[in-house]
Structure 1
Amino acid sequence: MTKVLRLSVKDRIELFNGKGGLVEGSIERVDRTGIDFVAIKDQVVVHPHEPQWDVYAAFSTLKGGRADWLVEKCTELGASSVTPLLTERSLSISENRVDRLQRVIVAATKQCQRLHEMILNPPIKVGSLLPNVAQSKLSFVAAAEATPLISTLTMTSSTKESRGSLIIGPEGDFTEQELKLITEAGATAVGLGPHRLRVETATISLLATLMLWSDSQ
């Protein structure tokens, strides 16, 4: 706050805890170790009101900072949670990487001024995903050559639902058996255009479209 934003004594700020808690106050003192903050109002708790979409993405094989970017953008767009999905073509994700992704979420939450921190769930296999799909009123799975997403949303325009699941497979795509299990559990297969997309591109395209659609509902 003091080094980057150049805030100083008497400047008004708001502090939040990532769980909807918000406190308004001001800076009373600044020194080398930090600042003293004085609350001028009692804490208020803001309940979630934005669309609630849970993302299941097979991104464990992404190299470099691509997984970081995926999680960062999911946070900014307002995903309720992100769960690494383990498939036959995306088998594992290290604990060290999960810790790093959690730090990315915290940083992105601060940057976009989001009051409720996005949840990073432990990795799950496709079989463990199926009950979640069955219980969700709306679930979409990205699949090559499926009905375009916009066409699917047009057909479900009467559904006033703003919570559901988004499922994205690895860059080698789901196996036929995995896709069959997911759709039989209740997910709708949707297409995202004529080109083969990277995992992070497909995830953000699907999430951004559904967030805007939910907003319009």
Structure 2
Amino acid sequence: MIDLYIARVELFNGKGGLVEGRIESIDRSGVDFEAVENPKLVSQPTTQWHVFAAFSTLKGGRADWLVEKCTELGASSVTPLLTGRSQSISENRADRLQRVVLAAAKQCQRLHEMILKPPIAVGELLPVVANSRLAFLAAAEATPVFNALSSINKEPNGIIIIGPEGDFTKEELNSLREAGAIAVGLGPHRLRVETATMALLSTVMLWSDCQELASN
């Protein structure tokens, strides 16, 4: 057995529960942890953005990277979006992505774990868009995202939608817009799925946070 003393460590359960303490000892059977303060519950952040991205066909670790960065940036959930140009995601891959979420949450000290939801098709997303307070759809040649945000009142909750490599079909784009999604542009270049996701998510998260600070 190895005797070990660390001034402070924190344990969390991914649901806002947090306890501070110290490690008394470590051996092959496990770790002895002593709490030095009572457990506390940290409330959910007021900013809640949900990502729907068509990343099922991404290869070479790009899907892992997308999910990892969504966790770090503070997305509330990520849902793989199935479209006419992106296929189903395997169960084994979903398990791997869940492990990525957990590792990223630990790394960035996120107390509320991001939820990785089961894949849904565009048709299933339409009522979600219709019932959302605010939905942004990344689309080529659309109104620049900052122009769109400048004309929208404060909103800390909503969804962002990113299409697959090759973009949505015309029918999918029309149906999402008719459901209430606001098409926004992310610059003059064609972006990869993970790049577009990061660009739009970081923009709306910072916008929401700034709006929240301005109102306090």
Work out whether the TM-score is over 0.5.
yes
| SS at structure 1 position matched to 2:26 | strand
1:194 is aligned, of 185, 188, 193, to 188
Q: How does 1:8-23 map to 2 (within 5 A)?
A: 8-23=4-19
Separation in 1, partners of 2:130, 2:39: 38
Q: Give the drift of 1:10.
A: 4.3
Please say if 1:216 is aligned against 2:210: yes
Aligned equivalent of 1:75: 71
Q: Give the drift of 1:154.
A: 0.8
Q: Give the drift of 1:33.
A: 4.2
Q: How does 1:1-217 map to 2 (within 5 A)?
A: 8-156=4-152, 159-217=153-211
Task: Say whether the 8 Å CA contact 1:9–1:30 is kept in structure 2.
Answer: no
Q: Give the drift of 1:11.
A: 2.3
Give RMSD over aligned pairs. Answer: 1.4
Separation in 2, partners of 1:97, 1:152: 35
Kindly provide the CA deviation profile for residues 77-125 of structure 1, in whole angstroms up to 9, marking residues without a partner as x.
0000000000000021111110000000000000000000000000000
Q: 1:43 to 1:174 in 2, by over 3 A?
A: same
Q: Give the drift of 1:170.
A: 0.3
Unaligned 5+ segments in structure 1 are: none
Separation in 1, partners of 2:6, 2:54: 47
Q: Which runs of 4+ in 1 moved over 6 A?
A: none
| SS at structure 1 position matched to 2:93 | helix
| SS at structure 2 position matched to 1:170 | coil
Separation in 1, partners of 2:96, 2:4: 31
- Between the two proteins, what is the percent identity of the paired residues? 70
Q: 1:11 to 1:84 in 2, by over 3 A?
A: same
Separation in 2, partners of 1:98, 1:32: 30
Separation in 1, partners of 2:11, 2:36: 12
Kindly provide the CA deviation profile for residues 135-185 of structure 1, in whole angstroms up to 9, marking residues without a partner as x.
1111000000000001100111xx221010000000110001000000110
Aligned equivalent of 2:214: none
TM-score normalised to the size of structure 1?
0.94
Q: Matched residue pairs, number?
A: 210
Q: Give the drift of 1:196.
A: 0.2
Separation in 2, partners of 1:32, 1:129: 47
Amino acid at match of 1:8: L
Task: Say whether the 8 Å CA contact 1:149–1:192 is kept in structure 2.
Answer: yes
Unaligned 5+ segments in structure 2 are: 212-216
Separation in 2, partners of 1:171, 1:65: 15
